[in-house]
Structure 1
Amino acid sequence: GTGKSTLLRHLTWNTRKQVAVCAPTGVAALNVEGQTIHSLFRLPIGLIADSDIDQNDATRKILNAIDTLIIDEISMVNADVMDGIDRSLRQARARRREPFGGVQIVMFGDPYQLAPVPPRGDEARYIDDHYRSFWFFDAKVWAGEQAGDGLLEMGNYGAELNIRELTQIHRQDDDSFKTMLNAVRYGRVTADIAQKLNDAGARTPPTDAEDPIITLATRNDRVNQINAKHLAALPGREQTAVADVSGDFGRGDSYPADEHLKLKIGAQVMFLRNDSGSGGEPPRWVNGTIGTVTKILPDAVRVDVEGDEFDVEPVVWEKYRYAYDPFQKKLSRDVAAEFTQFPLRLAWAVTIHKSQGKTYERAIVDLGSGAFAPGQTYVALSRLTSLDGLYLSRPLRPRDIRVDENVRRFMKNAWEKQGTEMRAVSA
Structure 2
Amino acid sequence: MSVTELENSLERMSLSIADAQQNFESLKQSIRKHFQTPVIVVNNKIVEEIKLTDEQQKIYDEVVAKLGNLENDPLYLYVCGPAGTGKSVLLSELYKKINRRFENGCKIVAPTGIAALNVDGSTVHSVFKLDPYGTTYDENPFAFDMNTKVIIIDEISMVDATLFARIDNRLKTKFNNDEPFGGCSIIVFGDLMQLEPVFDKTNKSFVFQEIPSNTPFHNGLKNQLWNLFKFAELTDNRRTTDVKEANVLKLIRTGEYEDAKNDNFFENKQCLKDLPAFIDEGDAAFKKFKELRTDANNLIILAATNEIVDFINLQGLFELPGDAYLYKKQKIPYAHYARVVSNDIEHLRVKIGSPVMLTCNIDVKRGLVNGLIGKVSNCEEDGITVSFPSIGNDVKIERQNWQKNGKGPIYAQFPLRLATAITIHKSQGITVDSVLFVTADLFANNHFYTAISRAKSLKNSWITRYRDDMIKTSGESRAEIDRMRTEAALFELAPVME
**TM-score (ref. length: structure 2):** 0.57
Give the distance between the partners of 1:302 and 1:95, measured in 2 at CA. Answer: 45
- Give 1:77 deviation, angstroms: 1.1
Distance 1:389 1:158, change over 3 A: closer
Q: Give the residue type in structure 2 aligned to 1:364.
A: L
**2:481 matches 1:418:** no
Distance 1:206 1:195, change over 3 A: farther
Q: Give the residue type in structure 2 aligned to 1:175.
A: V
Q: Counterpart in 2 of 1:171?
A: 239
- Give 1:221 deviation, angstroms: 1.9
Q: Counterpart in 2 of 1:337?
A: none
Q: Counterpart in 1 of 2:139?
A: 54
After superposition, the C-alpha distances for 1:266-318 in whole angstroms (9 at most, x for unaligned) are x678999xxxxxxxxxxxxxx9999x99x979998899x9xxxxxx740599x
Q: How does 1:263-282 map to 2 (within 5 A)?
A: 263-264=351-352
Q: How does 1:4-15 map to 2 (within 5 A)?
A: 4-15=87-98
Give the distance between the partners of 2:258 and 2:305, measured in 1 at CA. Answer: 27
Q: Give the residue type in structure 1 aligned to 2:351.
A: L
Give the distance between the partners of 1:91 and 1:302, measured in 2 at CA. Answer: 41
1:234 paired residue among 295, 320, 329: 320
Contact kept? 1:215, 1:350, Cα under 8 Å: yes
- Give 1:350 deviation, angstroms: 2.1
Q: How does 1:311-350 map to 2 (within 5 A)?
A: 313-315=393-395, 347-350=419-422
Give the distance between the partners of 2:467 and 2:341, measured in 1 at CA. Answer: 34
Q: Counterpart in 2 of 1:2?
A: 85
- Give 1:68 deviation, angstroms: 1.1
Q: Counterpart in 1 of 2:191?
A: 110
Q: Give the residue type in structure 2 aligned to 1:226.
A: I
Greater length-normalized contact order (CA 8 Å, ≥ 6 residues apart): 1
Q: Counterpart in 2 of 1:183?
A: 251
- Give 1:22 deviation, angstroms: 2.0
Q: Give the residue type in structure 1 aligned to 2:394.
A: P
Contact kept? 2:437, 2:462, Cα under 8 Å: yes
- Give 1:216 deviation, angstroms: 1.5
- Give 1:67 deviation, angstroms: 1.2
Contact kept? 2:111, 2:158, Cα under 8 Å: yes
Q: After superposing the two structures, state which structure 1 stretch, 205-214 or 104-113, moved more.
A: 205-214
Q: After superposing the two structures, state which structure 1 stretch, 227-236 or 103-112, moved more.
A: 227-236
Contact kept? 2:257, 2:468, Cα under 8 Å: no
**DSSP 3-state at the match of 1:353:** helix
**2:432 matches 1:364:** no
**DSSP 3-state at the match of 1:199:** coil
Contact kept? 1:63, 1:93, Cα under 8 Å: no
Q: Give the residue type in structure 2 aligned to 1:91.
A: T
Distance 1:364 1:45, change over 3 A: closer
Count how many residue pairs are aligned between Structure 1 and Structure 2.
345
Distance 1:90 1:396, change over 3 A: same
Q: Give the residue type in structure 1 aligned to 2:312.
A: I
Q: Give the residue type in structure 2 aligned to 1:227.
A: N
Give the distance between the partners of 2:338 and 2:107, measured in 1 at CA. Answer: 19
Q: Counterpart in 1 of 2:122?
A: 35
Contact kept? 1:25, 1:36, Cα under 8 Å: yes
- Give 1:70 deviation, angstroms: 1.6
Contact kept? 2:424, 2:451, Cα under 8 Å: yes
- Give 1:105 deviation, angstroms: 0.6
Q: Counterpart in 2 of 1:262?
A: 350
**DSSP 3-state at the match of 2:422:** strand
Contact kept? 1:374, 1:403, Cα under 8 Å: yes
After superposition, the C-alpha distances for 1:352-373 in whole angstroms (9 at most, x for unaligned) are 222233334433211113x211
Q: Counterpart in 2 of 1:377?
A: 448
1:70 paired residue among 152, 168, 173: 152
- Give 1:412 deviation, angstroms: 0.6
Q: Counterpart in 2 of 1:129?
A: none
Distance 1:164 1:385, change over 3 A: same
Give the distance between the partners of 2:127 and 2:387, measured in 1 at CA. Answer: 38
Distance 1:397 1:153, change over 3 A: closer
Distance 1:261 1:108, change over 3 A: farther
**DSSP 3-state at the match of 1:363:** strand
Contact kept? 1:75, 1:115, Cα under 8 Å: yes
Q: How does 1:138-149 map to 2 (within 5 A)?
A: 138=209, 147=217
Q: Give the residue type in structure 2 aligned to 1:198.
A: F
**TM-score (ref. length: structure 1):** 0.65
Q: Give the residue type in structure 2 aligned to 1:404.
A: S
Q: How does 1:65-144 map to 2 (within 5 A)?
A: 65-96=147-178, 98-121=179-202, 123=203, 134-138=205-209
Distance 1:19 1:376, change over 3 A: same
Contact kept? 2:313, 2:418, Cα under 8 Å: yes
Give the distance between the partners of 2:240 and 2:444, measured in 1 at CA. Answer: 24
- Give 1:115 deviation, angstroms: 0.7
- Give 1:107 deviation, angstroms: 1.0
Give the distance between the partners of 1:153 and 1:391, measured in 2 at CA. Answer: 44
Contact kept? 1:12, 1:19, Cα under 8 Å: yes
Give the distance between the partners of 2:226 and 2:312, measured in 1 at CA. Answer: 49
- Identity across the alignment (%): 29
- Give 1:378 deviation, angstroms: 0.2
Give the distance between the partners of 2:134 and 2:123, measured in 1 at CA. Answer: 16
Contact kept? 2:193, 2:253, Cα under 8 Å: yes
Distance 1:54 1:208, change over 3 A: closer
**2:460 matches 1:389:** yes
Distance 1:45 1:422, change over 3 A: same
Contact kept? 1:67, 1:104, Cα under 8 Å: yes
**DSSP 3-state at the match of 1:62:** coil
Q: Counterpart in 1 of 2:29?
A: none
Q: After superposing the two structures, state which structure 1 stretch, 180-189 or 32-41, moved more.
A: 32-41
Give the distance between the partners of 1:347 and 1:154, measured in 2 at CA. Answer: 40
- Give 1:414 deviation, angstroms: 1.5
Q: Counterpart in 2 of 1:24?
A: 111
Distance 1:188 1:44, change over 3 A: same
